[in-house]
Amino acid sequence: MSRMMCPRGTDDLLPEALPALDHVFAAFHRTMDTFGYREIRTPMFEETALFVRSLGDESDVVSKEMFSVQRGDTNVTFRPEGTAPVVRAYLQHNLDKTRAFQKFWYGGPMFRFERPQAGRSRQFYQLGVEALGSHSPLLDSEVVLLAHRAFAAMGLRNYRVHCNSIGDAEDRTTFRLVLRAYFQPLLQQRCDDCQRRFERNVFRMLDCKVPQCQATNKAAPQFLDHLRPASRARFDESLAVLQAFDVPIIVDPGIVRGFDYYTHLVFEVRCPDLGARDAICGGGRYDGLIEQMGGPSLGAVGFAIGVTPTLLALEIQKHPAIAPRENFAAVFVAPIGDSERTAALRLCQQLRDQGIPCDTDYEQKSLKAQFKSADKRGVKVMLVLGPDEVQNGRVQVRALHLGQDHQLALDSELAAHVRQLLATTKTAP
């Protein structure tokens, strides 16, 4: 079968699926407004060098997951994540010099060339925030609180925020030595991946999922115990704030994060209902990034929500806003025969002009068939036009959801009547 299909790892969002996406975006947007974050939109693709510089050419994303396009001597990449583009825009427009501290949110598709699986695709949607230009520990807490409130606004239940601190560059240098010293004699017992991680990124050995590795991880030194007092105090301060706001926190030494630019607070939101891939949000502080990208030494903190897994979680939890919805026009004008077709179109348009979503028949269906299909599409009000109605300047109005019939005049009052019928809900008998 050689039918055309959308490329592997992509999905068509059909009309009935979009209300779910809208629900998540709208809840996020509302939350951002109340916290004073403003939306920013950057291009879908950037110069490849931007991501190489921010993520590091050692990272998996850069080394094997980028959607890149070479055109003449320019090489661009469809954005695999949202942080680097926002920081780039911030610096490009000299915001660091005019109003250094700014809070942004963004949302939209991201692209990574990887093997699709449950809750993960090659084009996926992220909603994220970036609070740029401040080192304040208060912001660390605010950002986590913000993620929590956003999920709450979406109606998600049963999730936990896993938090950890990985200190600053100095803490990490120290801890790297401590970890290497600990793992060196145990290296024989570790899996192949950990053998590689020992040199490349020791920290990742801490969240290895292989059972034999987890055994030696239990007694492994923890970041939190090797932070300098100032770093440790800052983490404790953040935790205290979050506990005061009843955020479901779990301190989890296994949270290490993949990208190089993270510092101090790192966190992940997980929803156990999802099974193997349970992370729905990841973020933290990344104090080195702005400077790394050619800007001044300013702090930054943010997170990104994976919309796809979030929708999956809401679906599993049977959230009503996620169910597929047929969003057809609520009013339908049904001409009985061909002679009423023009009048029907005119009436239909008249209601549309009044802001009432309205549709009519285009296929010369029988009246019965029009009723049947209208019922299936969730139409609430049917307006029937036959020869008699047209001649008398009247229309038959049937409220399908109420089971009521009315005869109404085709005058300026009609729209108001229809509007009223739409607003009426069926009362229990």
The 3-state DSSP class for residue 226 equals helix
| Identified binder of RNA from the candidate list 242, 347, 384, 421, rule CB under 7 A | 384
**What does the buried/exposed string (b/e) look like for 305-325 if buried means 16 or more CB atoms within 10 Å of the residue's CB?**
bbbbbbbbbbeeeebeebeeb
Instruction: Say whether residue 1 binds RNA (CB under 7 A).
Output: yes
> By C-beta, is 123 or 231 nearer to RNA?
123
Name the residue type at position 424.
T
> By C-beta, is 96 or 121 nearer to RNA?
121
Region 209-268 residues binding RNA, contact defined as CB under 7 A? 209-210, 257-259, 268
Write down the least CB distance from residue 324 to RNA, Å.
12
Size of the site for RNA (CB under 7 A): 64
Of residues 356, 104, 144, the one with CA closest to residue 348: 356
CA–chain centroid gap for 424, Å, is 34
Backbone angles phi, psi at 285, to 5 degrees: -90, 145
Write down the least CB distance from residue 385 to RNA, Å.
7
Instruction: Say whether residue 157 binds RNA (CB under 7 A).
Output: no
Q: Which tokens is 101 given?
A: 């501290």
Instruction: Say whether residue 126 binds RNA (CB under 7 A).
Output: yes
Write down the least CB distance from residue 125 to RNA, Å.
8
Q: List CB contacts of 366: < 8 A, sequence separation 6 or more.
A: none
Strands of 166-278 (E only): list them: 249-251, 263-270
| Identified binder of RNA from the candidate list 76, 139, 161, 208, rule CB under 7 A | 208
The 3-state DSSP class for residue 268 equals strand
Q: Which tokens is 272 given?
A: 């156990």
Name the residue type at position 185.
P
Write down the least CB distance from residue 163 to RNA, Å.
14
Instruction: Say whether residue 401 binds RNA (CB under 7 A).
Output: yes
The Cα 226–Cα 236 span in angstroms is: 14
The Cα 313–Cα 237 span in angstroms is: 31
- 394: β partners: 409
Write down the least CB distance from residue 239 to RNA, Å.
21
Number of H helices, E strands in the chain: 17, 16
> By C-beta, is 96 or 149 nearer to RNA?
149
Of residues 269, 268, 271, 267, the one with CA closest to residue 314: 271
Region 265-294 residues binding RNA, contact defined as CB under 7 A? 268, 275-277, 279-282
Instruction: Say whether residue 61 binds RNA (CB under 7 A).
Output: yes
Instruction: Say whether residue 164 binds RNA (CB under 7 A).
Output: no
| Identified binder of RNA from the candidate list 81, 96, 130, 142, rule CB under 7 A | 81
Instruction: Say whether residue 14 binds RNA (CB under 7 A).
Output: no
> By C-beta, is 1 or 428 nearer to RNA?
1
> By C-beta, is 135 or 204 nearer to RNA?
204
Q: Which tokens is 22 given?
A: 């809208």
Instruction: Say whether residue 341 binds RNA (CB under 7 A).
Output: no
Instruction: Say whether residue 321 binds RNA (CB under 7 A).
Output: no
The Cα 17–Cα 166 span in angstroms is: 39
Q: Provide the binding-site residues for RNA, judged by CB under 7 A.
A: 1, 5, 8-9, 59-61, 81, 112, 114-121, 124, 126, 193, 197, 204, 208-210, 257-259, 268, 275-277, 279-282, 304-306, 308-309, 336, 365-369, 371-373, 375-376, 382, 384, 386-389, 396, 398, 400-401, 403, 405
